Structure 1
Amino acid sequence: MKIQENPIFFQNWDDFWLLLRKGDRKGLEGIYRLFSHELFKYGLALVNDEAFIQDCIQEVFIDLWKYHPSLQRADNVKVYLFKSLSHKIYRESKKKAKWKMEALDDLGATSYSIESMESTLIGIQREQVIQRKLANGIDKLPLRQKQVIQLLFFEQFSYEEVSKMMGINLRSVYTLAWKAIGSLKKHVISLLGIVFIFL
């Protein structure tokens, strides 16, 4: 699925989007090169299945090409793509009953990096233990709560952008975030306990 790097004069996603809407494949390729890595990371944070996420991303880009004549001007292509991938993962996972997700492996766990004074003081080995505990807590959240946490705190989208991406109202975003944080509370307490033991 990887597209080889080609020298293209356009570097702004807005330029690529315009090319795509006009039916120029360079637009699709440019958008893919700009956002595929971020989309893959985001997808893996929701469902720890690389092949499944690659398939979903491929389908998002197939749909982009298929429906390019009807695409509208996008205020933020990244938000549009994250929303498309979220919906694709949600629909496909529901079909295939993929909600029983595997625990994150060490590589996946490192994406939930905790840069704090505490983790620095207790050393790399203990930092990895903390990261795994937090990642494990996030991995056990229901998908919609996990999505909100990932989009808000790791991808750093605003509550308003998350609302648009997930197709829910702003109040529901706050509610999901509140529930997710509440569910993580026991993991955070456990995490802090480990920090204080080793300080």
Structure 2
Amino acid sequence: MAHIIPGVVDLGSVLHLPEWINLTIALSLMVFGMGLITGRNGLIVLAGGMLSYYIITPVVKALGWIPADVQGSAISGYVYGTMTRPLGIGMLLGGSIAGLILSLPVIAVAMKSLAQASRVRDKNGNSEELPVYYLIGGAIFAFASLLITAYRLGGLFIKAERHLNRAWSAYADGYIREGDTYLESGYAQLRETSKLLKSKS
């Protein structure tokens, strides 16, 4: 398909925009198919990307919050890595925690109902429901397992992402050899993560 549909379209160059405005669109049938699946819900993701690259980045540059040694196409990557990405992660965590807090009354009612059901006995003295502490113990075990997994793998994923982002920035600036080095380092981290996952399975 590459000889029919270009893989990347650099609208920034066509519109003569500054280098730090990343208006490069990757044309992919896979991503287009994902849009067909997500439907209108994908529009909020598009809105977040546009806010990050085309509103926050120009405002940050206009306010002079970017170091003097960060120039050209590296500006958008710097703003993404140090500002908009942490902001997005905070919004994800904040929304998840807020949703959990708001659902606590419903969870409490469900736990109370399960506890009452486990006390009901038939004529033989048997209960059709497992004791509620089985559910509590399973929830604690699942939380501890996820916490340990995130602690073990989180650092590897962060290192891999950092190397791959540096490779992309190097390629964008024309430093092919440096980009190859960062790319290989990123793939090495991903291979290490994959081996660790296979050893745990």
Global fold match (TM > 0.5): no
Name the TM-score, length of structure 2 as normaliser: 0.33
Query: Highest CA radius of gyration, 1 or 2?
Result: 2
TM-score (norm 1): 0.34
User: Relative contact order (alpha carbons < 8 A, sep ≥ 6): 1 or 2 greater?
Assistant: 1
